[in-house]
Amino acid sequence: MLRKLLDKLQEHVGWTGAGRARVRKGGGGEMWYTFGVLRNGLNCENVLWTNKIGYVDMPMKKSEFKDCDVYAAKISALRPFPKETLKSLRDYYRVGLTYSSNALEGNSLTESETKVVIEDGLTIGGKPLKDVYEATGHAKAYDFLYKLTKDEPVTEEDILKIHRLFYGQIDKAHAGAWRKVRVFISGSRRVLPAPEKVPRLMTDFVKWMAQNDGKLHPVEFAALVHQKLVYIHPFVDGNGRVARLLMNLSLMRAGWTLAIIPPICRHEYIATLEKAGRMPAPFVRFIRDRVCETQKELLRLMGQSIVLDDEGVKSSNDEGVNEGVKALLDVIRSNPGRRANELATLIGKSVQSVERYVKALKDGGRIAFRGAPKNGGYYVVGGA
């Protein structure tokens, strides 16, 4: 009966194979499942099990990372950076990553307060000491990453040291040690592995990293490193911070910019991460978008304001921008404060096309939306 079903799937929806697989169950132990494999447009393969639906990790299509790749090439063309520039960028992202990663976990320090704490060594009046220790600890762990940007694989001891540096001032007894107790993720239904399984799972995780580094796109690999560590949850606390540090270490080792997740994106971040165990593509895309934003920020800092169109990156002057984008820019100059649907009427294009042009102009820092979401509109920035 299953064979007939799979034949139908092959005929109608692109079934690519069938077989049997030994699968670990959440509560421990293993079972053999019979399955059929369906390829979807994300190049992830959905698995139709005889008694459950799951997924198989498969590389996403390279086209999913087209924008990131183009930005990466643009940044590479600016290298090598002067030594002073490298130090300045390292310090810049030291503050930005420390602030954002801690804020995602409820730390009350602002970005400017984080800078004062980790660069000037001062405490902030009225702020919990734990928040200060999280900032100084994260900065130490971030600095340690630069000692790991080499060819040797990341080891379990490296991961333990990252946690020890981050968590040492907060809870010395548990810093840099695998957990020996059960833990839970608030707001999540995920059942985390029993503590006695953590050492073996971390050994397997490090092996997976060594085997897949270089096989997947750097952004996809980094996102999966994050997801897999969080799902093991090897520490009593600080798992999210360590996962984000490891993710960024993976990007750094591949020569990529960091993925900084701003606190405003927390809901999307948590939601996609929660589902990533059975559907990783949305989480990978979320991380991809964060990498793209960091790349664009770096290019702007380097004076390289850019936009994207269907052909890739073009310069921000009018000669390098496609005709649709140029026309929209002219309309916004003449009709400031209009919304996308109004601009579509004025320019004689579909709303979908105008939204694509708007994105290109916003990415290039040439226009901005001002006012409330319901009655605001787009305006030209500066002398764009």
Tokens for 4, please give them: 């007939």
Q: pLDDT per residue over 153-177, tens digit each?
A: 999 999 999 999 999 999 999 999 9
Q: How much is the average pLDDT of 108-134?
A: 95
Count structural domains, the chain: 3
For residue 374, the enclosing domain spans 310-380
Are both 83 and 151 inside the same structural domain?
yes
Catalytic residues: 233
Q: pLDDT per residue over 195-207, tens digit each?
A: 999 999 999 999 9
Are both 218 and 284 inside the same structural domain?
yes
Are both 225 and 252 inside the same structural domain?
yes
pLDDT for 263 equals: 93
Are both 38 and 95 inside the same structural domain?
no
Are both 26 and 102 inside the same structural domain?
no
Q: Residue 21: helix, strand or coil by DSSP?
A: strand
- Percent of the chain's residues with pLDDT above 70: 79
Are both 334 and 261 inside the same structural domain?
no
Q: What one-character-per-residue DSSP string does 25-84 give?
A: -TTS-EEEEEEEEEE-TTS-EEEEESS-EEEE--PPPGGGGHHHHHHHHHHHTTPSPPHH
Last residue of one domain, picked from the residues 58, 73, 91? 58
Are both 86 and 47 inside the same structural domain?
no
